[in-house]
């Protein structure tokens, strides 16, 4: 018996190289398991969907507070976007010679997610943002996501970042889709690769005035866009050039600038980041989008709402004198919503306008906000609901 047990014991003693192989296998397995666990932890769990982020929701401004997740999708030389994915918000890696950094090859969009009292999230006409990005991308010689790809990405971002959507009436989740030439390029040419990114931030009112009246200044030295340029698309190159004039106006106590046309400098174009409407009686006029003015989604929606309410809505060349003799003036945009203008200063003349609860601006704003937040029934098919 002793001999038998001894023989068995000896048979179980493995050579050293076998032990090493076994340990290496276990080590490799443990490393793979740990790596898989780390990757799983990076993925959105949505377990906090019904909770709110730790924010002072009563004092939201329009600053960047990055939500948890961003969406990234790549496009290679063949012009086809691969399937995108969510990842934690963070820095991205770009070559110093990326097309967007050297030649400004990029366009962006802006849309918002609102929270209803029942917790559902609402998006306002995201398909229109998708179409506008496609138009802008074509102008900047870039491939672009399909409408379905764009809308799906926006929906994923809203859902993954639900805890960052403010409570009803406290603000919204601003969603920023960005398309850029991310591939390296030295000579002036389209980038060899493109990246589509969507990120989000909870926001309140765009202007520091909140919902108070804006005071605008008519800019005569600088122009925003010229015929034949890219003023009619949401190119990233349209915005940095307005900063100098905007800073000067704000240092003088104005909220924003009204730009005039580049040729005669007598016709209204738009403000730094929003469209403009002029009210006289029952007629609402807005500068025609003839290549130098961005076709705003909010602008388009307000025009339809105004027509539904019996106003005569006119797209035309609006002379600055007409602005100075108007009953009301207001601005529209995704970021600003519908904002009343209290005064406009042109040369040495300052004019005040009608504002308040009975104003045309407020009536149109009430309908638009009601549709966006779900308190007014959507009969136009503008709202995308995320359960």
Catalytic residue ranges: 234
Which tokens is 42 given?
Answer: 């990076």
Cα–Cα distances in angstroms (integers) from residue 261 to residues 90, 227, 250, 317, in the given order: 39, 9, 21, 10
| Contacts of 92-96 spanning 24+ positions with Cβ under 8 A | 92/195, 92/197, 94/182, 95/182, 95/183, 95/184
Tokens describing residue 87: 């990842």
List C-alpha distances in Å: 2 to 8, 11, 12, 13, 247: 10, 14, 16, 17, 95
Q: Please answer whether residues 337 and 368 qualify as being in contact, where contact means their C-beta atoms are separated by less than 8 angstroms.
A: yes
**R_g of the chain, CA atoms, integer Å:** 27
- Which of 296, 342, 351, 274 lies closest to 320 in space, CA to CA? 351
Q: Within 10 A of 81 (CB to CB), how many other CB atoms are there? A: 21
Determine the Cα–Cα distance for residues 37 and 42; give it in Å rounded to an integer: 9
Q: What are the helix and strand counts (H, E) for the chain?
A: 9, 17
Strands, E assignment, 170-303: 172-181, 194-203, 214-219, 256-260, 268-271, 275-280, 283-287
Q: Which of 331, 298, 366 is nearest to 214 (CA)?
A: 331
């Amino acid at each position: 018996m002793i001999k038998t047990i001894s023989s068995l014991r000896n048979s179980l003693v493995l050579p050293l190289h076998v032990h090493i192989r076994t340990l290496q296998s276990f080590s490799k397995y443990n490393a793979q398991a740990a790596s898989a666990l780390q990757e799983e932890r990076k993925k959105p769990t949505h377990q906090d969907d019904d909770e709110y982020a730790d924010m002072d929701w009563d004092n939201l401004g329009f600053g960047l507070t990055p939500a948890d997740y961003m969406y990234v999708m790549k496009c290679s030389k063949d012009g086809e976007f691969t399937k995108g994915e969510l990842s934690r918000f963070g820095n991205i890696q770009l070559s110093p010679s990326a097309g967007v950094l050297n030649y400004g090859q990029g366009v962006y969009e802006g849309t918002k997610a609102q929270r209803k009292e029942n917790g559902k999230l609402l998006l306002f006409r995201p398909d229109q943002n998708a179409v506008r990005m496609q138009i802008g991308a074509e102008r900047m010689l870039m491939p672009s996501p399909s409408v379905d790809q764009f809308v799906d990405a926006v929906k994923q971002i809203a859902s993954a970042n639900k805890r960052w959507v403010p409570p009803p009436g406290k603000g919204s989740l601003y969603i920023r889709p960005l398309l850029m030439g991310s591939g390296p390029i030295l000579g002036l040419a389209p980038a060899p690769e493109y990246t589509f990114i969507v990120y989000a931030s909870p926001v309140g009112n765009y202007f520091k005035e909140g919902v108070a009246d804006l005071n605008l200044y008519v800019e005569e030295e600088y122009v925003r866009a010229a015929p034949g340029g890219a003023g009619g698309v949401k190119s990233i190159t349209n915005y940095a050039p307005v900063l100098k004039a905007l800073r000067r106006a704000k240092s003088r106590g104005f909220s924003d600038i009204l730009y005039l046309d580049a040729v005669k400098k007598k016709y209204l174009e738009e403000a730094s980041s929003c469209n403009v409407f002029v009210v006289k009686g029952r007629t609402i006029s807005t500068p025609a989008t003839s290549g130098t003015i961005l076709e705003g989604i909010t602008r388009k929606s307000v025009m339809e709402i105004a027509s539904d309410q019996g106003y005569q809505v006119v797209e035309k060349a609006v002379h600055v004198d007409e602005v100075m003799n108007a009953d009301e003036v207001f601005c529209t945009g995704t970021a600003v919503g519908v904002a009343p203008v209290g005064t406009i200063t042109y040369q040495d003349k300052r004019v005040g306008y009608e504002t308040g609860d009975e104003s045309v601006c407020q009536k149109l704003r009430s309908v638009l906000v009601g549709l966006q937040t779900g308190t007014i029934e959507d009969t136009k098919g503008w709202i995308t609901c995320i359960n």
